[in-house]
Amino acid sequence: MNDYVIKARDLLKTYNVGDEKITVLKKVSLDIKQGEFVSIIGPSGSGKSTFMNIIGCLDLANEGDYILNGKSITSLREDELSAIRNKTIGFIFQDFNLLSKLSALENVELPLIYQGKTKKERRDIALECLKKVGLQDKMKNRPNQLSGGQQQRVAIARALATNPRIILADEPTGALDSKTSKEILEILEGLNKEGKTIVMITHDIDIARKAKRIIKIKDGEIFE
């Protein structure tokens, strides 16, 4: 498939710090096709997380255009951005971002509540997603009863719950040991083989090489 799910054109992002204007992204352009597995690698402060936030509709660029699934999101309202995030994008974070008082199953159900699914629908979908990451037997466990790798599997299941076209993974192995990191990357590779578009941010070149395409970002500029 050659259709582009992500088209970024001349994205400029600046922040004001006191009287000083800091340019974090310098007219960045990037196209990502449906079904690609792309890693974005760069050191701390390179602009990679800012770029990820814009791709994930968590932030907007000051200038330029961002087209997601054929639709420009540059001038959308926050409620419209929120709806796109919930339907189109699944997020995976370094620190898992699980709610401590909820079970694994309930954490996976969360995005489905916003979609208005019934209780039975939520449970069925969440259980299927936990099965996909091999954690159905831990569905009643809370995060503090799970290892780091298991928590990240729950986070991946939660990202899959809304059946998004795109998975954005921000340092998904950053808090894990090498063996567990390998297992998480194998799950991501499997999802990519099923047709999911995966964009992974990392500072680790060995992790980045698991993707089929590597984008380097430094000082707010992109190189391939």
Q: Where are the beta strands (DSSP E) in the chain?
A: 4-17, 20-33, 37-41, 63-68, 71-72, 89-93, 166-170, 197-202, 213-218, 221-223
Residue 215 contacts residue 38 (beta carbons within 8 Å): yes
* Contacts with 134 (C-beta within 8 Å, 6 or more apart), sequence order: 153
Residue 1, pLDDT > 50, answer no
Q: Which residue segments constitute the domains of the chain, with CATH numbers given?
A: 4-98+163-223 (3.40.50.300)
**pLDDT for the residue numbered 38:** 98
CA distances (Å), origin 32, targets 60, 123, 124, 143: 18, 33, 32, 34
pLDDT tens digit sequence for 102-124 = 999 999 999 999 888 999 999 99
Residues in the chain, how many?
A: 224
Which of the residue ranges 121-125, 173-177, 193-197 would you say has the lowest mean pLDDT? 173-177
DSSP code at position 211: S
Residue 211 — pLDDT band, cuts 50, 70, 90? very high
Instruction: Please give the structure tokens belonging to residue 94.
Output: 């370094």
Residue 33 contacts residue 2 (beta carbons within 8 Å): yes
96's torsion region: left (phi>0), alpha (psi -120 to 50) or beta? left
Percentage of the chain exceeding pLDDT 90: 91
**pLDDT for the residue numbered 164:** 95
pTM over cut 0.85? yes
**pLDDT for the residue numbered 2:** 56
Quote the mean pLDDT of the chain: 94
pLDDT tens digit sequence for 54-89 = 999 999 999 999 999 999 998 899 999 999 998 999
Residue 165 φ/ψ, nearest 5 degrees: -80, -30
**Cα–Cα distance between 193 and 109 in angstroms, integer?**
24
**pLDDT for the residue numbered 213:** 97
**Cα–Cα distance between 181 and 93 in angstroms, integer?**
13
* Contacts with 181 (C-beta within 8 Å, 6 or more apart), sequence order: 173, 207
